[in-house]
Amino acid sequence: MLSSDMQVTSEAFRVQQDSKSRQKRFAYGKTASHVRSVSRTARQQVTSEAFRKRKAASHIRSVSQAQGSKSHQKRFASARQQVTSEA
């Protein structure tokens, strides 16, 4: 009996706290939500731009690495040929 009573009161308390926090959140009205949405879109634009730049940079890096490894292979192939012709 006592435990169920405690459960009910704690549940009621939780609901009350929940509604209080919700009231606080919506006490600002439209302006706060508007500011939130504006800042969210601005943040999304910034992050997408950063993502694009990062992606481009990684692409350039991978291409240059591939080209570098090709020239590396050519140089070593010529060196290998010289060694085999000398031997």
Please report, as a single letter, which amino acid is at residue 24.
Answer: K
pLDDT in the model for residue 84: 74
Q: Which of 63, 41, 45 is nearest to 53 (CA)?
A: 45
Would you mind telling me the total number of residues written for the chain in this entry? 87
Q: Is residue 12's pLDDT more than 60?
A: yes
Six token digits for residue 83: 């060694």
pLDDT in the model for residue 78: 76
Please, which pLDDT band fits residue 5 given cuts at 50, 70 and 90?
A: low
Q: How far apart are CA 80 and CA 13, in angstroms?
A: 81
For the segment 35-39, the average pLDDT, to the nearest whole number, is 65
Q: What is the pTM of this model?
A: 0.28
Please report, as a single letter, which amino acid is at residue 75.
Answer: R
Most confident range, picked from 13-17, 50-54, 62-66, 67-71 = 50-54
